Every structure is written in C-alpha cells, then in structure tokens.
C-alpha cells in the first residue's frame, strides 16, 4: 500500500515542489523538513514557517540539513508526500495547520523513531498513541484581544480618518475553533473598551482564495465597517486589497503584513493599522532548539501565547501614526495583565456551538 502511494507521489510530480536549502554536509547534523500543505507566498502562516527554517539553518550552519516542501492545495498529495519524506530518514518533520492532524498521526505511527511537530493542530494521545508527535497550538485569542482593545479605542477616540461607524469586520477562512478563537478574543477586547461594539462576521470557506476574500470584505466595508480583521491565510490578502479600494482600514494576521507591502504597495500598507502575529517562525526555531536539547514535549499538546512570544501585536509605523502614546501605554498594560494572569481572555476552545452562536448573534452589526 505504502509503495503504491509513493509511486503515486512520483506520478504527481511532488518532487518538483520541494525546495532544499543548500548547506555544507556534516556527519552529525540534524535533518529538519517543513511540509507546507499549500504553497509559499501567502505572506502569512506558511511563509513564516519557511522563515523559521531559514533561521534554523543560519543558527546551526553545517550542523543541520533543512528542506521546505510545498505540497500544494491538492489534498491527495499530502499523505503520500509525508510518507515519502519519512522514508528518507529526516529526523524532525514539521507540519502546519489542523488539516494535517490525521495524516501526521497515521504516518508517525509507522515511523516511531522519527519526531513529528504539528503546529496549530493536535493529534490524539489516547492510550499512549502518537508519543513521537508534539502538538503545539497558539493562544491567538490573547493577541486578538489586544487588537480588539486597540481598534475600539482608536474608533472611540476618533483617531482613524474617515471612520464614521464603530463597527468592526471579521473575515475567517473557515468556521472552525482556531479561527473562532481569534474572533472571541477580538470581541472581548473591543467590548472591554466599548460594550456597544458591533461586528460584521464572514467566513470564506477557504484559506486560498484571495478573490473571494476581497469580495466578502468589500461587502463588509460597503455596509459601513470601519476596520476589517482577516484570519484567512491567502484568502485574507483579498481583505487587505479591499481596504485599499474602499479607503478603509485593516488588521493583518500572522506576519507583519504592513511591513510586507510597505515597499511594493505603500498605499495598501498604509491601510493596515497593525497585524495580529502568530509567530510560526519563532515557534519553529523554538521546537528545533528543544529537539536538539531533548526538551521537546512529544506525546503532548502545548499551548503557547504572549508569555512565550508566540503571539503578539505589531507596533509599527502605521500604528504609531494613529495611536497616541497614552493608548500604547494602556495597550502595554493590558498585555502585561494577560501575561501575568490578572486578565483572563475568553477562548472559543471548549465553547459550545450554542454559546458561540449566541455570542455572534449578540454582536452582529
């Protein structure tokens, strides 16, 4: 069966999608590979993972061999690709997003001597299963709380030129817990400033369709949304483009999206107030360092947030133009309160469907 899948992989041409980062050979090197269940160029989650791999290479020099493999959006490629990689003797195999959970669990069971890391998703550890898999999830609700607090404060203070309504937009890639965790934190942060904050909420049903993201975001802006927040991967790039076209504002996600577009599209960059960071690059390097020091927690789920520098909020040029020093100081205090545990941010994880629907209905614009 597995030989058949590997043959299928060759027929699909997955080898052509791999990118090996060149470096000198070393007898005692570690071999680390990142699998991307999509393509690089999302200016978000996957690009950050690749940046983490480059940082690992730079830090470890000849002591590590690294590779990034783009598996594309065809899901039939994913499992045979991971099987093929596992057969090549890579020491540490990294996958991103919840969509890879079942695949990693299946392949890891057949390769118990190799270490697997799954970011932003989990596998089951019932009855001692998946002891060679580390599941690392993010407290994205903490960072999105900061974003909600910030934007509601800016609107309340009238600091955003042309923003006439206190409604906020949210564009999710899919209606799933990890995306709704952003939403729940975002709502809580905004309502801590203005209990009357209202939200236009849309889900694209995909993380790879920028055109659909733009269509949904434009509809929100036309309805009066002042600031839109995308949690939708490549789909979310469409929301940023919509903000530019509509002359409204946006919040980026995962990477510093204002900085990414600053040189190539300064007008678009000027509409991005800040970005909610999910520091996949930082956690990729962290996981590798833990692997090398034998402190990586395989066989368990670890949640990382503001305290681990795994999530955050960008304070860049765009934000500094509109946020007063007093507001930035208040924002820093909120972050400190979250890190210390003084402020508990609500989460979508563990929330019932009924409770989530009630929350969304109560805040809809």
Sign for the pseudo-dihedral over CA of 36, 17, 233, 64: positive
CATH of domain 140-278+311-363: 3.40.50.2300
| Separation of alpha carbons 341 and 286, rounded Å | 23
Contact 242/202 with Cβ under 8 angstroms?
no
Q: What are the residue boundaries of the structural domains of the chain, listed by start?
A: 2-138, 140-278+311-363
| Separation of alpha carbons 90 and 33, rounded Å | 7
**149-177 per-position pLDDT tens digit:** 999 999 999 998 877 666 899 999 999 99
Q: Strand 18-21 relative to strand 64-70: parallel, antiparallel, unpaired?
A: antiparallel
CB 103: neighbour CB atoms within 10 A? Answer: 21
Could you give the angle at which helices 101-110 and 78-87 cross, rounded to 10 degrees?
30
Confidence of residue 28 (pLDDT cuts 50, 70, 90): low
Tokens at residue 123, please?
């596998």
- As a whole number, mean pLDDT of residues 100-121 equals 96
| Separation of alpha carbons 229 and 200, rounded Å | 10
What is the model's pLDDT at position 161? Answer: 82
Confidence of residue 316 (pLDDT cuts 50, 70, 90): confident
Confidence of residue 238 (pLDDT cuts 50, 70, 90): very high
**273-315 per-position pLDDT tens digit:** 999 999 999 999 999 999 999 999 999 999 999 999 999 999 8
What is the model's pLDDT at position 107? Answer: 97
Using the structure block, give the residue that is written with the tokens 């990693």.
Answer: 104
- Residue 24 confidence (pLDDT) above 90: no
Confidence of residue 216 (pLDDT cuts 50, 70, 90): very high
- Residue 18 confidence (pLDDT) above 50: no
CATH of domain 2-138: 3.40.50.2300
What is the model's pLDDT at position 167? Answer: 86
What is the model's pLDDT at position 166? Answer: 65
Sign for the pseudo-dihedral over CA of 75, 81, 86, 91: negative
Percent of the chain exceeding pLDDT 70 equals: 91
Q: What are phi and psi of 322, to 5 degrees?
A: -115, -20
Average pLDDT, the chain: 90
Q: How far is CA 192 from CA 46, 180, 326, 344, in A?
A: 32, 18, 17, 12
| Separation of alpha carbons 149 and 251, rounded Å | 13
Contact 66/23 with Cβ under 8 angstroms?
yes
What is the model's pLDDT at position 60? Answer: 76
- As a whole number, mean pLDDT of residues 243-259 equals 94
| Separation of alpha carbons 87 and 111, rounded Å | 8
Same fold for the pair 2-138 and 140-278+311-363 = yes
- Residue 5 confidence (pLDDT) above 60: no
**113-136 per-position pLDDT tens digit:** 999 999 999 999 999 999 999 999
Coil, strand, or helix at residue 140?
Answer: helix
């Amino acid at each position: 069966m597995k030989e058949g899948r590997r043959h299928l992989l060759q027929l699909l041409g997955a080898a052509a999608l791999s990118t090996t980062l060149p470096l000198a050979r070393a007898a005692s090197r570690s071999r680390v590979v990142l699998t991307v269940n999509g393509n690089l160029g999302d200016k978000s989650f996957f690009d950050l993972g690749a940046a983490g791999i480059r940082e690992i290479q730079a830090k470890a020099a000849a002591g590590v061999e690294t590779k990034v493999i783009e598996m594309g959006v065809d899901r039939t490629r994913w499992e045979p690709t991971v099987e093929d990689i596992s057969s090549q003797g890579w020491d540490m195999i990294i996958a991103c997003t919840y969509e890879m959970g079942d695949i990693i669990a299946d392949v890891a069971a057949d390769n118990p001597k190799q270490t697997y890391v799954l970011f932003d998703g989990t596998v089951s550890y019932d009855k001692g299963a998946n002891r060679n898999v580390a599941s690392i999830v993010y407290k994205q609700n903490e960072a999105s709380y900061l974003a909600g607090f910030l934007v509601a404060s800016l609107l309340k203070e009238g600091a955003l030129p042309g923003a006439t309504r206190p409604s906020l937009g949210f564009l999710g890639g899919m209606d799933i817990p990890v995306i709704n965790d952003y939403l729940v934190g975002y709502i809580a942060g905004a309502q801590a400033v203005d209990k009357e904050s209202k939200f236009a909420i849309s889900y694209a049903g995909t993380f790879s369709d920028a055109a659909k993201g733009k269509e949904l975001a434009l509809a929100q802006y036309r309805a009066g949304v002042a600031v839109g927040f995308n949690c939708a991967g490549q789909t979310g790039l469409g929301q940023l483009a919509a903000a530019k076209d509509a002359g409204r504002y946006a919040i980026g996600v995962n990477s510093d999206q204002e900085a990414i577009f600053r040189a190539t599209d300064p007008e678009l960059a000027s509409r991005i107030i800040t970005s909610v960071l999910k520091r996949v690059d930082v956690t990729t390097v962290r996981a590798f360092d833990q692997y090398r020091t034998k402190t990586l927690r395989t066989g368990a789920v670890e949640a990382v947030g503001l305290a681990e520098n795994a999530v955050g909020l960008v304070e860049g040029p765009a934000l500094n133009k509109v946020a007063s020093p007093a507001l930035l100081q208040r924002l820093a205090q909120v972050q400190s309160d979250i890190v210390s545990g003084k402020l508990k941010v609500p989460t979508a994880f563990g929330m019932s469907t009924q409770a989530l629907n009630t929350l969304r209905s109560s805040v809809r614009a």
